[in-house]
Structure 1
Amino acid sequence: MISVLFRFILIFSLAVLAAYIAFVLISPVTALVASLGILGAALAYAYFNLYKIQYFLRQNAIGETPEMGGLWEGLIHRLKRQFRDLHEQVRSARQEHEHFIQAFQASPNGVIMLDKEDKIEWCNGIAESFFGLNFKRDTLQRVHYLIRRPEFLDYLTKRQFLEPLIIEGMGPQANLTLMVQLFPFGDSLHLLLAQDITNLRRTEAMRRDFVANVSHEMRTPLTVMMGFLETVQTLDLEPKKRDEYFDMMMDQAMRMKSLVEDLLALANLEANLLPAPLVSVQMRSVIGIVESDAKALSRGRQRIHCKIDASKNVLGEERELSSAFLNLVSNAVRYTPQGGEIAIRWKVNERGEGEFSVTDSGPGIAPEHLPRLTERFYRIDRSRSRETGGTGLGLAIVKHIANRHQAQVLIESTYGKGSKFTLLIPPERIQFIKPPINH
């Protein structure tokens, strides 16, 4: 401030001195012209400096600092410092905004920001997919014009947002179930969150079906056993007839035992999400045992052939693989009529994948049933399944064992001619056995 005052006094004094000299030595008019000339020069200098400052500001104060002396030098440096601070604040705010947008874009949920009039201010990509929106096209459009569902309009109108809204049939394929809820924030603004609960709903339905199926499967043999017990208690039966009833009760008890064992096996497989260990499984030995069990179960009713490549083993869990192989073979024995043929094969194909296959000459399976065969308790013919003694869990167990070994279950069938079930094991789990060296 003192520097500014000093400069002003100096310029004023010089103008007065020049005017006085001109007045004394020349004339009053010359004195006036001289003083005006000095003041004009000072104003021109000031205007030139102001022009340089203006140009500097137009460049957003990021260009080269103009050379200016005295007061102007200090002013330009202060302006540059303030602009630098402002740029840093803007950069920081923009970065925070970008992080905010990136966070919402990374969210697995749909996010829509609504203004006071329920117009869309912003939405992420998931919301676009869920509701068929386009952010550029639909910005500042009322959300209920775009999400045209009566239940959503009712939810929006009532303004009761404490509970979420369930909307079905959403998404590109109209097959998603969404849980939608609005959350107020700021000055009468709202954040709409949409979560895909399709899998959760499907899991809940599967759980309900599972409980119902288990109850049904357990109730049937228990009812039969209770009927037999009541008969034995109330009637005076001959020893031979009583033994027949006891044998039938034992069959029902064994059926319940098999069901419980399969349920426990399935529960253990579902609880173990880790891949199966890479332990060498001797396929010749394992398949040999499976073949023996199949022939014992068949009791000579079918012709069973087995052909294996003993030079290839599998890296996995022997107990689980044995269970999977036996389930596939047991199904073939149960459903292949007397006199039919069952072929068990183990080989490595041209892609290096292991193929354990069971082919039968049974009745075959209609195409509409094939996609659901590995579901728990799914049966094509429930009455026939009970006659053959199946629990309805065998192929579900095979599927889970396959998943643990990164394998696939392939099912081919021609209705009326037979079926082929293949467990396709990836090349990284195939072990080649070196033949012994003869001396």
Structure 2
Amino acid sequence: MTWLVSRLLAGLVAMLLGGVIGYVVGGPVHAPVLTVLLGGTLTVGALAIVDTLRGVRLIDWLRGAQDTDAPRDAGFWGEIGYRVERSIRARERSTVQEKARLEQFLEAIEASPNGVLMLDVSGQIDWCNSVAASHFGLDPRRDRLQRITNLVRAPAFVAYLQMGNYREPVVFPSPNGLGTLSVLVRDYGEGMKLVLSQDITERERADGMRRDFVANVSHEIRTPLTVLSGFIETMSALPLTEVESRRVLVLMGQQAQRMQTLVSDLLTLAQLEGSPRPAADRWVSVSKLLLQVEGDARTLSQGRHTLTLVSDDAAQIAGAETELLSALTNLANNAVRYTPEGGRIDISWRVLTDGSGEFSVKDTGPGIEREHIPRLTERFYRVDGSRSRDTGGTGLGLSIVKHVAQRHGGELDVQSEPGKGSTFRLIFPAARLRRAAASPRPQGDASDAAVRGATADTR
């Protein structure tokens, strides 16, 4: 309140000073009272004019951008200018802080893996992050203030917005046709809506694969069980000759072996998915693996195919021997199963120019259509289901191969053409390979022949 006291004192002093001056001046004219009043009025008026000019300066500053300091006057207008400027500066700092918090909040939403889209009371787009723009096929700048239903016309989404019941999300194909979206709407503010979107394509695919997996396992196990059950009922209800009994027992053994193979493959897959990656300091001889793979392939072929084994390098590979043997054997055995009698199967190993190792199985079988190749490693996926069962396959072999390759840092490559056979290549990185130390072997030793490159005709 000091400005009020000083303002009153200044007015009183000006009035007294004007009166004194008027009295002195008015003495000669013998009108002291009039000149005192006139002098006081003039001095008060002059003070008012100066005061008004100060107020005008402050008003001019307020009308401007306030990017400079307020007029530094004393008294009433100086006090007002100071307080107004302080209030404005505090408001500016608050605005800057709020803007920074808003930008930080929007950056956090932008970093969200889910889509976030804000709608005003009219259903127009107020803001959306890049994920939502990708989900709905929008342009965050161009489509702002556009009605969402004019841009996203999926019937399920439009009906969901109009229904007003947002307790459960709505699922519909993405407008760009590349997947499936799950969208949930929440009301906020006064009539505004928050649209949350999530790409559930992979989840839907995983759920579908899980359902297919359970159905396939059930079917694969039920089939041999049905056969076994039928044979058991037959043997219990009908008198069979010794020849018929032996035949039935052989067929029952085949079905039991089929179930045992399926369960074994399932356990192998479960172990591969649930165990840590193989250590990189346990070395396995490639020659030893190749000999075992060749032996299993010959046993399965029983002389029905021309089988060759070629290896140009005595190498070792870092990893789990049982896993590697399972993957290589699966590739070789698949070639034997699906190659008609009299066909040719070439098994080879070589070190590529970049230091990586390649295990290859090439056959002269019927080949595979191009559209089937990307799905070959899916569990229970079969190009020809009936033929796979006839050959004894479980539909899990290539899935096991893919998992083993990934666990050893490698990859599986498939090249095939209908009528021209198939080539399956399992490629391991250079970091997993090293040259084996030379060791003396008896002349004619089978492993030495495998390293040098042997060709065998089993027909």
Structure 2 length normalisation: TM-score?
0.85
Instruction: Output the CA distance in 1 between the equivalents of 2:238 and 2:101.
Output: 85
User: Which of residues 125, 131, 145 in structure 2 aligns to 1:140?
Assistant: 145
2:413 and 2:426 in contact (8 A); partners too: yes
User: Which of residues 223, 227, 233 in structure 2 aligns to 1:230?
Assistant: 233
1:120 and 1:139 in contact (8 A); partners too: yes
Paired positions, count: 434
2:7 and 2:75 in contact (8 A); partners too: no
Instruction: Output the CA distance in 2 between the equivalents of 1:69 and 1:13.
Output: 16
For the residue of structure 2 that corresponds to 1:410, the secondary structure is strand
Tell me by how many angstroms 1:149 deviates: 2.6
Say yes or no: does 1:397 pair with 2:434.
no
Between stretches 58-67 and 332-341, larger displacement belongs to: 58-67
Structure 2 gap ranges (5+):
441-459
Q: Could you say which residue in structure 2 is the equivalent of 1:84? A: 89
For the residue of structure 2 that corresponds to 1:135, the secondary structure is coil
Higher relative contact order structure (alpha carbons within 8 Å, sequence separation ≥ 6):
2
Say yes or no: does 1:207 pair with 2:210.
yes
Say yes or no: does 1:293 pair with 2:296.
yes
Kindly provide the amino acid, as one letter, of the partner of residue 6 in structure 1.
S
2:19 and 2:39 in contact (8 A); partners too: yes
Instruction: Output the CA distance in 2 between the equivalents of 1:424 and 1:32.
Output: 113
C-alpha change, 1:335 and 1:96, in structure 2 (3 Å) is same
Q: Could you say which residue in structure 2 is the equivalent of 1:330? A: 333
CA-based RMSD: 2.8
Instruction: Output the CA distance in 2 between the equivalents of 1:312 and 1:60.
Output: 79
1:114 and 1:121 in contact (8 A); partners too: yes
Between stretches 209-218 and 7-16, larger displacement belongs to: 7-16
2:14 and 2:44 in contact (8 A); partners too: no
What CA deviation, in whole Å up to 9, does each residue of 1:47-99 have, x standing for no partner?
55446545665676554576544555554443343233212211221122112
Kindly provide the amino acid, as one letter, of the partner of residue 95 in structure 2.
V
For the residue of structure 2 that corresponds to 1:375, the secondary structure is coil
Q: Could you say which residue in structure 1 is the equivalent of 2:133? A: 128
Instruction: Output the CA distance in 1 between the equivalents of 2:394 and 2:24.
Output: 129
Kindly provide the amino acid, as one letter, of the partner of residue 114 in structure 2.
N
Q: Could you say which residue in structure 2 is the equivalent of 1:119? A: 124
Tell me by how many angstroms 1:20 deviates: 2.5
Kindly provide the amino acid, as one letter, of the partner of residue 256 in structure 2.
A
For the residue of structure 1 that corresponds to 2:123, the secondary structure is coil
Tell me by how many angstroms 1:326 deviates: 0.8
Between stretches 234-243 and 28-37, larger displacement belongs to: 28-37
User: Which of residues 345, 349, 352 in structure 2 aligns to 1:346?
Assistant: 349
Between stretches 241-250 and 42-51, larger displacement belongs to: 42-51
Instruction: Output the CA distance in 1 between the equivalents of 2:189 and 2:319.
Output: 57
Say yes or no: does 1:106 pair with 2:111.
yes
Q: Could you say which residue in structure 2 is the equivalent of 1:8? A: 8
Instruction: Output the CA distance in 1 between the equivalents of 2:166 and 2:52.
Output: 62
What CA deviation, in whole Å up to 9, does each residue of 1:84-131 have, x standing for no partner?
321221122112211221222222222221222322222222222222
For the residue of structure 1 that corresponds to 2:180, the secondary structure is strand
What CA deviation, in whole Å up to 9, does each residue of 1:171-191 have, x standing for no partner?
42x132212222111222221
Tell me by how many angstroms 1:147 deviates: 1.8
Tell me by how many angstroms 1:193 deviates: 1.5
Tell me by how many angstroms 1:35 deviates: 5.5
For the residue of structure 1 that corresponds to 2:142, the secondary structure is helix
Tell me by how many angstroms 1:328 deviates: 0.4
C-alpha change, 1:303 and 1:100, in structure 2 (3 Å) is same
Identity percentage over the alignment? 42
Say yes or no: does 1:152 pair with 2:154.
no
Q: Could you say which residue in structure 1 is the equivalent of 2:196? A: 193
Instruction: Output the CA distance in 2 between the equivalents of 1:48 and 1:307.
Output: 105
